[in-house]
Structure 1
């Protein structure tokens, strides 16, 4: 549905480092970058982009959910995010209240955003 989503962050360097490391397991990389006030575009090849830019305004909290191809990517996201200083908001595991194969992990990122990576497929 989306081509890209762009939102402001209070610490561009910290957010850039967080999103690059935490989302690397699902293939996210830099596809474009300008000065911090313009920002950075992050995306897996051929997919929708996440764009971040430096702002002086306090960003509203968001819930961002990213799709993983498998449960190992969810686990790797969670480990990488915690290594960057993110706070745990739900360890990797099944969330059967959503559906039987909803396997996800949640962390709180640098600006207080709830960042999720989810796999909807059954375990291989």
Structure 2
């Protein structure tokens, strides 16, 4: 559905570092970068990208959910995000109130955004 999502952050360097480290288990890398006010575009192999830029405005809180191919990627994201400075907002596990195979983890990023990685596939 999306080609890219772009949003402002209060500390460009901290947010860039957080997202690159936290989403590394999903294969995310920098694909282009300009000045902090222009921002950075990060993407994985699916060509959908996330773009961050420095803003003086207080960003509204977002909930961003990224797709994992398997449950191991969800767990790797969670560990990487916490190591990168994220705050726990829900350890990896099933959320069967969404559906029987909804396996997700949640962290809060440096700006207070709720970042989720979810796998919809059954355990392999």
TM-score over 0.5 for the pair: yes
- Cα deviation for residue 46 of structure 1 reads 3.2
| Structure 2: 5+ residue stretches without partners | none
Cα deviations by residue, 1:44-85 (Å, 9 ceiling, x for unpaired): 023210000000000000000000000000000000000011
1:101 is matched with which residue? 101
Q: Hey, what does 2:21 align to over in structure 1?
A: 21
- The answer to whether the aligner puts 1:49 opposite 2:49 as a matched pair is yes
- For structure 1, which segment, 41-50 or 63-72, has the greater mean C-alpha deviation from structure 2 after superposition? 41-50
RMSD value over aligned CA atoms?
0.5
Determine the C-alpha separation between the residues in 1 that align with 2:64 and 2:108: 10
What residue in structure 2 maps to residue 5 of structure 1? 5
Cα distance between partner residues in 1 of 2:46 and 2:31: 10
TM-score (norm 2): 0.99
CA offsets, 1:4-25, max 9 Å, x none?
Answer: 0100000000000000000010
For 1:31 and 1:42, locate their aligned partners in 2 and report how far apart those are by CA, in whole Å: 6
Residue of structure 1 in register with 2:84 after alignment: 84
1:70 aligns with 2:70: yes
SS of the residue aligned with 2:89? strand
Q: TM-score when scaled to structure 1?
A: 0.99
SS at match of 2:23: helix
Where 2:59 maps in the other structure, the secondary structure is coil
Q: Distance in 1 between matches of 2:96 and 2:47?
A: 27
Q: Runs in 1 of length 4+ with deviation above 3 angstroms? A: none
- Number of residue pairs matched by the alignment: 124
